[in-house]
Chains A and B, each alone.
Chain A
């Protein structure tokens, strides 16, 4: 990160000091945990309650649409949701619209299934990746086995016990899309509104503001936004892990950024008072 032209030596130094403080603020809570507690948000609670309300043995479709870049925020919430499903003896059906996300999905599914002692094909299905985006969703709405004739491990989906009584999307009571892109809107337009299942969502903090209109219109039944959403879910599961630890680091970094913004603006106002207003 080279210093831009025209910056004074002090401005450049201030930037490097800011980088150093951010690094320290991220690392400190992992060494010295802070006594910070928080209440889960209402939208996270709604998603948790929707999963709780499903009868035992119900199928839940998860679309994990992200790659390693968004892993820090989305992997912990995916982990929490899958653990919750296995704990309640639900049948997760896992897929992804992102080719780069297949490896992460595999890790997630195999890790949580092993923890819960569940068997592939019997208690859950990992469908892997298929291209098509919205067309794939439409195909799944007509026939799930037609869209995915085999699971990730190459076993035929027709007659698979984990997919018993699940022939198309409308046979699934809850779909959850964990997204680092625009797939939530796609699931709403081509899936939820057409085939009538409940849709929950989780996304990176950057995308979260885009989804608020769908929360108000009740097109989403619950929502996890960014690392905070993941930490909320861990709290409700009573299994605090990476997201909860991450929230402590995020707390310190946010407070530091706020201090930076305020002090930079005090400096800016002071400069305007001393030098006069800008052109």
Chain B
């Protein structure tokens, strides 16, 4: 049926064109349209969170049902999610029916956040130091001239960023040598490379947006071409 494809394409084209042109129209209607549209986007974003939660839970149910490798970890997803949802909702309900506000009341939700989620999150991220040590032993090799250059740059930046470099440089009368060298590497070669990547990404986004606007790119509709 033609309208199942055409109607979403027409909606996409019209909304895309309106969103683009309102930027160049200095009329209160254009401002009101932008305000209305961004509010709608935020409402849809709220629904997107439900969709994300459903997708996450569905994936873990499948892992448990099929007894896939590491399915035991999926059980903890449900334990954690249930604990937070139940404690949060219960407290909201109690707060709503309480005749007078009690700001200092014990909050299980906040307790779980402070003493479970915060330490667990910080612990997982801190493992990065150990992975870096492992990578330093196994993979950072000067296999060719390019890799050697990258290694030297990495060592200068790593050393220049910590106070030890100022201390050791100071012993030789040049405390600013390594920090300045690290700054130079970051502000020139690094910045030039990042700017090139940014320009490439931006041009890619513009061309992809035009492809979606004119109905050439249709993969977002699902079901392939």
**Chain A positions near chain B (C-beta within 8 angstroms):** 1, 11, 14-15, 18-19, 21-22, 26, 35-39, 41-42, 67-72, 99-100, 103-104, 106-107, 130-133, 135-136, 138-139, 142-143, 146, 205, 208-210, 212-213, 215-216, 226, 228, 247-248, 250-258, 260-262, 264-265, 268-269, 278
Contacts and interface: CB of A to CB of B under 8 A. Distances in A.
A127 to B, nearest CB: 14
Given A247-B163, A254-B159, A260 B118 contact: no
Interface residues of B, number: 56
Given A15-B137, A212-B187, A139 B39 contact: yes
B215 to A, nearest CB: 24
B110 interface: yes
B195 interface: yes
Interface stretch (B56-64, B68-76, B128-136): B128-136
Given A22-B133, A264-B141, A39 B121 contact: no
A273 to B, nearest CB: 13
Main secondary structure on A side of the interface with B: helix
Contact of B134 (A15, A131, A139, A251): A15
A19 B155 CA distance: 19
A11 B138 contact: yes
Contact of A18 (B118, B134, B198): B134
Contact of A103 (B46, B114, B132): B114
B45 A260 contact: no
A183 B178 CA distance: 30
B136 A260 contact: yes
A39 B163 CA distance: 9
- Best-surrounded residue of A226, A261, A268 (most CB of chain B within 10 A): A261
Main secondary structure of the interface of B (DSSP, over half): helix
17 contacts: A18-B133, A18-B134, A22-B129, A37-B167, A68-B121, A71-B125, A72-B126, A138-B38, A142-B34, A209-B190, A226-B161, A228-B162, A247-B162, A254-B159, A264-B136, A265-B141, A269-B142
Contacts of B187: 212, 215-216
Interface in B178-225: 179, 183, 186-187, 190-191, 194-195, 198
Contacts of B41: 132, 135
Nearest to B40: A135
A246 B35 CA distance: 44
Contacts of B151: 261, 265
Given A67-B121, A247-B163, A261-B151, 15 more contacts: A14-B137, A39-B166, A39-B179, A68-B119, A68-B121, A103-B114, A130-B42, A135-B41, A136-B42, A138-B38, A212-B194, A213-B194, A250-B162, A254-B158, A261-B155
Given A103-B114, A130-B42, A265 B121 contact: no
A103 B117 contact: yes
Contacts of B140: 261, 264-265
Nearest to B158: A254
